[in-house]
Amino acid sequence: MMAANGKKIWMDGRLVNFADAHVHVLSHTLHYGVGLFEGIRAYPTTRGAAVFRLKEHVQRLITSAKFYHMTIPYSAAEIEEAILQTQAANGIIPSYIRPLVYRGEPALGVKNLEGKVSLAIAVIPAKKYLGDSSEAGVRAKISPFRKPHSDANPSFAKASGNYINSYLAGVDALKEGYEEAILLDANGYLAEGTGENIFLVRDGTLYTPGLESDILVGVTRDSVIHLATDLGYPVVQKLLSVNELISADEAFFTGTYAEIAPIKEVGSYTIGVGAPGPVTRKVMTAFQRALRGEDAKYASWLSPVPALPRATVRARG
């Protein structure tokens, strides 16, 4: 579990003290899960603190809001600026950044289109989502809980309510002694982890579930596809079976908080040699170089954090 502590939280254009960031107990988002969020990371780099793939995360947040008819009262550029302000105000590095779009006013009733749409941004210290030993490989199990079809819950939207499914799968795995769960899609093919995408490696080719498996289109997933391709490894997106996972040479999770976490076991089966394989290690190294600013090819993925907070962004209207 992540320790949620920090100095300042950005709420609708104001930086407030961490302890004073409140919403009403009858807020629509709290009761119905109709909220959107992002997980973003900031790292120390060769040129100072920087946020990793900020633009892509903000664009996904805006896309998520469209699915749920929630008009964010800020442009993409304004949201990016607010995130950089909040990161600077907290001075935490490395950090995990959580923007949240929500309706915080008291309003019960499922079909709420009138409530005020708010934006909050928090910054907390980053820790390993799957544990400090996750780089050596995690133990996972196939979850009895399936990923809902996108006809039920749009998988392209990073919606708060979608993670009830992840909670059930994750808690089931933890209670059985595993670090993570792997969810199948509605048709029994591999989908993703509770908060990560998944990759398999076979004969030097990377495989990952495609959009037809109702996955969240991960930003780290996209980063890995680019990095692996640049390293000369083919990447194939397709339907993947449990058999393909169990017989893979290597497998790993990808996610903003998890970064790249090798999978050493699935249930009673050992993946490959039960340790990070050569392809996984090369991708992990390339990823770490990119986020630390050590590879100029990926410099555009880093947004420098200002030394001090600038004037806060105000909502339009």
| Residues recognised as catalytic | 158
Tell me the C-alpha to C-alpha distance, in Å, between residue 27 and each of 1, 22, 45, 113.
Answer: 25, 11, 39, 13
- Say how far apart CA 35 and CA 16 lie, in whole Å: 21
- Say how far apart CA 42 and CA 38 lie, in whole Å: 13
- Spacing of C-alpha 153 from chain mean position: 17
Token pair listed for 198:
């998944």
**Count of beta carbons in the 10 Å neighbourhood of residue 183:** 25
Instruction: Give the start-end residues of each E strand in 27-110.
Output: 36-37, 40-45, 48-52, 95-102
- Determine the residue type at 76: A
Token pair listed for 268:
């009673």
Strands 250-255 and 14-17: unpaired
Helix or strand holding residue 225 (H, E):
helix 219-230
- Say how far apart CA 24 and CA 30 lie, in whole Å: 9
Helix or strand holding residue 303 (H, E):
strand 302-304
Q: Of the candidates 195, 133, 197, 190, which has an alpha carbon nearest to the alpha carbon of residue 167?
A: 195
- Say how far apart CA 196 and CA 307 lie, in whole Å: 32
